[in-house]
């Protein structure tokens, strides 16, 4: 257990010491929030009883967790595998599955300060005001909802070549962001795109936060979709990992 904790601290430290990673994960959601918050009347109601500035705060938090998760696990993991880092870890006492689990845990730990930073910008720049309890619950909800993104990032890093990992990650950021309704209310999108949005985990992660603030509760369907994505990606990732372990190429 002490070895796993030390390895997790090592992984988190590597992530936060990378200035490129920090610029990407911090810059995108913060800049987009500051740009988009003025697109509507900040107090305009866009979803139930939720005002635009609050709606955008939730969606940019979700986008920030998406960016952090895909950046932490995607191109970085793919480069590590190309350099043979995962093969070197096989000679350590750590169990084989610990590499993947530690990557997911480290990614989730990095997502949390990203959420807090976007929320701070929402308070200072967007004028969003919630109770302490609501802030705590909203942050916890959005953090847990980021788990499918973390697993997706590791899945990409484990399956995509280092040369193509960054374009794949960058493309997924905006595909999941735009088509998941993180840049504009889903109700304002064409009907066909609304159907697409309801399939994507990015929509359901943000919808949990919006539903909570609107007093509609925590929809079972949102949790079901997020859990399905997390479990399905984890299952495929573990199968791929076992195959590569058996062949000695992981």
Three state DSSP letters for 36-88: HCCCCCCCCEEECCEEHHHHHHHHHHHHHHHHHHHHHHCHHHHHHHHCCHHHH
Q: What's the pLDDT at 21?
A: 67
User: Which residue shows structure tokens 């084989």?
Assistant: 96
For the residues 20-33, what does the mean pLDDT come to? Answer: 77
Rounded distance between C-alpha atoms, residue 64 and residue 60, angstroms: 6
Rounded distance between C-alpha atoms, residue 150 and residue 66, angstroms: 8
Q: Say yes or no to pLDDT of 7 above 70.
A: no
Q: Could you tell me which of 150, 153, 25, 26 has the C-alpha nearest to residue 80?
A: 153
Q: What's the pLDDT at 221?
A: 87
- At 201, the pLDDT band (50, 70, 90 cuts) reads very high
Total domains in the fold of the chain: 1
CB atoms under 10 Å from CB of 49, counted, come to 10
Tens digits of residue pLDDT in 56-100? 999 999 999 998 888 877 767 776 666 555 555 555 555 666 677
Domain encompassing residue 32: 2-247
Strand segments, DSSP code E, in the chain are 45-47, 50-51
**Model-level pTM?**
0.85
- In this prediction, what percent of the chain has a pLDDT beyond 70? 76
Q: What's the pLDDT at 30?
A: 85
Phi-psi region of 219 (alpha: psi -120 to 50; beta: other; left: phi over 0): beta
């Amino acid at each position: 257990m002490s070895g796993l904790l030390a390895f997790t601290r090592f992984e988190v430290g590597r992530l936060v010491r990378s200035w490129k990673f920090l610029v990407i994960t911090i810059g995108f959601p913060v800049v987009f929030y500051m740009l988009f918050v003025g697109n509507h009347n900040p107090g305009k109601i866009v979803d139930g009883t939720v005002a635009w500035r609050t709606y955008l705060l939730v969606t940019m938090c979700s986008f920030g967790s998406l960016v952090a998760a895909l950046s932490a696990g995607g191109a970085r993991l793919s480069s590590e595998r190309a350099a043979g880092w995962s093969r070197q870890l096989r000679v350590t006492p750590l169990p084989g599955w610990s590499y993947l689990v530690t990557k997911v845990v480290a990614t989730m730990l990095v997502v949390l300060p990203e959420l807090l930073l976007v929320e701070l910008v929402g308070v200072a720049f967007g004028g969003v005001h919630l109770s302490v309890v609501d802030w705590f619950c909203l942050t916890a909800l959005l953090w847990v909802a980021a788990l499918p993104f973390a697993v997706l990032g590791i899945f990409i890093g484990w399956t995509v070549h280092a040369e193509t990992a960054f374009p794949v990650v960058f493309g997924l950021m905006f595909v999941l962001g735009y088509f998941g309704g993180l840049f504009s209310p889903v109700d304002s999108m064409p009907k066909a795109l609304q159907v697409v949005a309801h399939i994507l985990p990015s929509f359901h992660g943000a919808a949990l936060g919006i539903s909570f603030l609107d007093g509609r509760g925590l929809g079972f369907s949102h949790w079901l979709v997020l859990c399905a994505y997390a479990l399905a990606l984890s299952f495929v990732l573990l199968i791929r990992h076992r195959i590569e372990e058996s062949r000695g190429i992981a």
